[in-house]
Amino acid sequence: MLVKINQKSEIPLIGVLPFGIIDRGTNLLQIRPTSVCNLKCPFCSTNANNEDFHPNNYLVDPDYLISWAKEIFSFKEIEYGEANLDSVGEILTHPEITKIAKGISEIKQVKTISMQTNGSLLTKQKVKQLEPYLTRINLSINAFTEKKAKYLSGSKSYNLNNILETAKAISNSKIELLLAPVWIPNVNDGDILEIIKLAKQLNAKLGIQKYETYQYSRKLKEAKPINFFKFFKQLEKWEKEYNIKLKLRKEDFSIHLAKRYPITMKKGEKLQAVIKAPGWQKNQMIAVAKNRAITVNNCKKEINDLINIQILQEKNNIYIAKLI
């Protein structure tokens, strides 16, 4: 089911992972307009586009999202803010993404807007539309042959040539291009080398990401995960070999600590909340209390039911609770 989140839904846009705003205590806010994804990558860390695991997805109303972003950025009392438009799925599946980018770009504190995308829904025309509002596009491209690209996107219609054309269009626009492949050892080692060469050709930044597996992520049997030490050693090796910067730090993006939007519930706290939407995973519901959205595990109550809960987690203003 696609759940629409707007002012009327009475669901605050801070508190849950699949939509809204994530504040990790810096001058950067992650802005999540949707959880829908159009691909089904076999290594996906969020297990996106899997109805058995995520029976519900979310679509946030642009004006509602922009007003929350405005409120949180102004609370932070910063001069330089970055809005990272991202998603647990693919952001460009949101039908009003240009309106969102425009609205966020008009927020006083926002000096940089980046967008995380798999690129498959980007066209030259879309790049033109977004150009006035975006500072940077982080494009995830994980393979360099048509066959492997289809395999690693889990989609027969994935078209690598189109992605490469779009990458060129971005690099010829005012938007900065950052290629962000996931290096999956034993699966796309050769492809990563080609992507490094592509980044040099296009004068793009490169942010190689480490393949990670989690309890619920999709995993590739043939992959050979490595630890962070080996990962950074390999990046250093490629840096020397290709004369390109690969170890990116927060400072490379002007990210610094900043006032956190208030955490309104503490771990262990017991309180009442109202159910407002079905959850992202099976057996979860989204409830609301103290102006925050909360994921309630193992909950089969109905919308508008009043429930008693205990907060299990509140890190970064992301709340998980259980029924009591």
Indicate whether 81 belongs to the interface with ligand SF4 (CB under 6 A). Answer: no
Indicate whether 141 belongs to the interface with ligand SF4 (CB under 6 A). Answer: no
Indicate whether 40 belongs to the interface with ligand SF4 (CB under 6 A). Answer: yes
**Considering only residues 39, 78, 179, 246, which one is a binding residue for ligand SF4 as defined by CB under 6 A?**
39
Q: Distance between CA 82 and CA 102 in Å, rounded?
A: 14
Indicate whether 41 belongs to the interface with ligand SF4 (CB under 6 A). Answer: yes
SS3 content of the chain, % helix, strand, coil (to 5): 30, 25, 45
Which part of the chain contacts ligand SF4 (CB under 6 A), choosing from 32-40, 53-61, 127-135, 296-304? 32-40
Indicate whether 150 belongs to the interface with ligand SF4 (CB under 6 A). Answer: no
Indicate whether 277 belongs to the interface with ligand SF4 (CB under 6 A). Answer: no
Indicate whether 184 belongs to the interface with ligand SF4 (CB under 6 A). Answer: no
Which part of the chain contacts ligand SF4 (CB under 6 A), choosing from 36-44, 67-75, 285-293, 307-315? 36-44
Indicate whether 44 belongs to the interface with ligand SF4 (CB under 6 A). Answer: yes
Angle at the Cα of 260 (from 286 to 322), degrees rounded to 5? 25
Q: Distance between CA 98 and CA 277 in Å, rounded?
A: 26
Which CB sits closer to ligand SF4, 105 or 140? 140
In the β-sheet with 110-117, what is the strand arrangement from edge to edge?
20-23, 28-32, 81-85, 110-117, 136-139, 176-179, 205-206
Q: Distance between CA 137 and CA 281 in Å, rounded?
A: 29
Which CB sits closer to ligand SF4, 6 or 155? 155
Burial of 38 from C-beta contacts in 10 A (0-12 / 13-18 / 19+): middle
Measured in degrees and rounded to the nearest 5, phi and psi for residue 161 equal -60, -40
Which CB sits closer to ligand SF4, 12 or 119? 119
Which part of the chain contacts ligand SF4 (CB under 6 A), choosing from 41-49, 261-269, 282-290, 306-314? 41-49
Measured in degrees and rounded to the nearest 5, phi and psi for residue 176 equal -75, 140
Q: Site residues for ligand SF4, window 86-105 (CB under 6 A)?
A: 89-90
Q: What's the DSSP call for residue 92?
A: G
Positive/negative CA dihedral, 38, 168, 102, 27: positive
Nearest distance, CB of residue 304 and ligand SF4, angstroms: 31
Residues in contact with ligand SF4, counted by CB under 6 A, come to a total of: 11
Nearest distance, CB of residue 132 and ligand SF4, angstroms: 25
Q: Distance between CA 210 and CA 43 in Å, rounded?
A: 11
66: left (phi over 0), alpha (psi -120 to 50) or beta: alpha
Indicate whether 46 belongs to the interface with ligand SF4 (CB under 6 A). Answer: yes
Which CB sits closer to ligand SF4, 122 or 265? 122
Q: Which residues bind ligand SF4 (CB under 6 A)?
A: 37, 39-41, 44, 46, 48-49, 89-90, 118
